[in-house]
Structure 1
Amino acid sequence: MPDISLATDAATLSPIALFIQADIVVRIVMVGLIAASIWTWLIIVSFFLRLRGVNRKSEAFEQDFWRTPDIDSFHREHAKSALPTARVMTAGVSEWRRSTKAKVVDRAAVRERLASAMQSATSGEIDTLSDRLNILATIGSVAPFVGLFGTVWGIMRSFTAIAAEQNSSLAVVAPGIAEALFATALGLFAAIPAVIAYNRFSHRIGRFEARLYRFADGFHATLSRELESEA
C-alpha cells in the first residue's frame, strides 16, 4: 500500500506549487523563461503570417509586372507599395530615370548603377524582413543557460537544506531538486521552438531573397534592353 504522506508531498510538486514555493532567484528565472517562451510564440505566429502574406503578394505582383505593357504606368500604380518586390522595382526605376536624363548616357555606367541600386534595395528589404530573427536566435541560445542557472541554484538550495536539517531524506531535498528540474524544463520549452523556428524562417527568408534577386536580375535585363534600343 503506498505511503499517504508521500502522495501528499507529490501533490505539492505541481508546476504552480513549485513556482510558489521556489526561492526568489529561481522564481525570477522561471518568470523570465515563461515570458521568453510567450514572446517566442508571438514572434513565430506573426512571422509565419507575415512571410506567407509577403510570398503570396509578391507572386501576384511579379505575374502582373511581367504581363504589363507599360512599366511606367505600373510603377506609378505601385510606387507607394510596401511590398519588397515593389520597392526593388521602384529603386530600379528611380535609378533609371536619374541615370538616363543626361544628354550623353554612359550605358555601362548606367547598368552598373542599376544593378547596385536594386541589389542594395534587395539587401535592405531582406534586413527589414528578418529583423526579429535575431530575437529567436538569442532566446534559442540563451534560454538553456538561464534554465541551467536556475537548476544550479535549486540544487545549491537543496544542499543548503540538507546542511540545515542535517537530514538527506527525500522530503528535504525534493523541493529544491524539483525546482531545479522545472527551471531546466522551462529553459528547454523556450529554447527548442525558438531554434526550430529560427532555422525554418532563415531558410524561407533565404528563398525569398533569391526570389528578389531573380526579379532584380530580370528587371535589370529589361532595362538594359531598353537602354540599347535608345542608343
Structure 2
Amino acid sequence: MEPDTLAMAQEIDFSLLALFARATFTVQIVMILLIVASFWSWAIIIQKLINYRTARAEAQGFDEAFWSGEPLDELFDKIGPEPAAAPARIFAAGMMEWRRSHRQDGGLIPGAAARIDRSMDVAIAKEADELNGGLSFLATVGSTAPFVGLFGTVWGIKHAFEQIALQQNTNLAVVAPGIAEALLATGLGLLAAIPAVIFYNKLSSDSDRIVGGYESFADEFSTILSRQLDS
C-alpha cells in the first residue's frame, strides 16, 4: 500500500458515530429505523419475560388454592368475579356461568355444561391474546430487519461507487469509508433480527405452555362441575 494512501486511511474516523454521520440521508433513516426496532424488541422481550414469570407464579399459587380442598363456592366468594390472576379469572368465568345456570328453584337450566365450557374458553382466549401481544412485532423484526439492513447497504454501496466515479479515484482511502458505512446498515439489521428471532421462538413456546396449563385447568374444572351436574 502506498504511504500516502496509508496515511489517508489512518486519518479517517471509523467509529460508529462517524460512520453514521457520513452516511447518506437514506442510509441514516434505515439505521435509525433498525435501532428503534432493536430497542422496541428488547422492551417487548423484557416485558414478556417478566409477564410470563408472573403468570407461572400466579398459576402455581392458584393451583394450590384450588386443590386445597376448600369448597369452590367459598373460593369464588373469596377471589371475587374479577380477580387479578389469570387462572383465577378463568375459574371465575366458569363459576359465574355455573351460578347463572341455576334457576330460583335450585334446578339447572339445560345446557349448563356447554355454556360453562364456552365461558372458560372465552376467558382463556383473552388471556392467550394478552400473553401473545407483541410477539408478532418480534416476528416481523426478525424476518424483515436483515432485508431492511441490506437495502441500506445496497444504497450505501451505490453512493460509494458514485463518489468513486466523481473523484476518478479507486484508492482504499476513497473506497473504504463508503463501504464501511454501507455495511454498518447490514450489521444493524442483523443486530435487530437475531435477538428478535431467538426470543420470539422462546416466548412463543413459553406462551403455549402457559396457555396449555390454562386449558388443562379448565378441563379439570369442567370435569368437577360435570360430576356435580350428573349427581
C-alpha separation in 2, matches of 1:78 and 1:198: 33
Could you tell me the percent identity over the aligned residues? 45
What is the number of equivalent residue pairs in this alignment? Answer: 226
Asked whether the 8 Å contact 2:141–2:193 carries over to 1, the reply is yes
> Do 1:141 and 1:191's aligned partners in 2 also have CA atoms closer than 8 Å?
yes
Describe how 1:75-86 pairs up with structure 2 within 5 A. 75-79=76-80, 80-86=82-88
Determine the structure 2 residue equivalent to 1:202.
204
For 1:169 and 1:4, locate their aligned partners in 2 and report how far apart those are by CA, in whole Å.
Answer: 12
Q: 2:23 aligned with 1:7, yes or no?
A: no
Structure 2 partner of 1:56 = 57
Corresponding residue for residue 40 of structure 1: 41
Return 5+ residue gaps in structure 1 as ranges: none
Q: Secondary structure at the match of 1:162?
A: helix
Q: Write the deviation string for residues 6-58 of structure 1: whole angstroms up to 9, x where unpaired.
A: 3223xx11111101111111111111111111111111111101100110121
CA distance in 2, matches of 1:206, 1:52: 14
> How far apart, in 1, do the equivalents of 2:83 and 2:122 lie?
18
List 4+ stretches of structure 1 deviating above 4 A: none
TM-score, normalised by the number of residues in structure 2: 0.92
Aligned to 1:223: 225
Q: Is the 8 A contact 2:58 2:87 kept in 1?
A: no
Give the structure 1 partner of residue 182 of structure 2.
180
Gaps of 5+ in 2: none
Q: Superposition RMSD on alpha carbons, in Å?
A: 1.7
Displacement of 1:106: 5.3
How many Å separate the matches in 1 of 2:77 and 2:108? Answer: 24
- Which residue of 1 is the match for residue 108 of structure 2? 105
Counterpart residue type for residue 56 of structure 1: A
Q: CA deviation at 1:4?
A: 3.6
- Relative to the length of structure 1, the TM-score reads 0.92
Structure 1: distance between partners of 2:22 and 2:211: 49
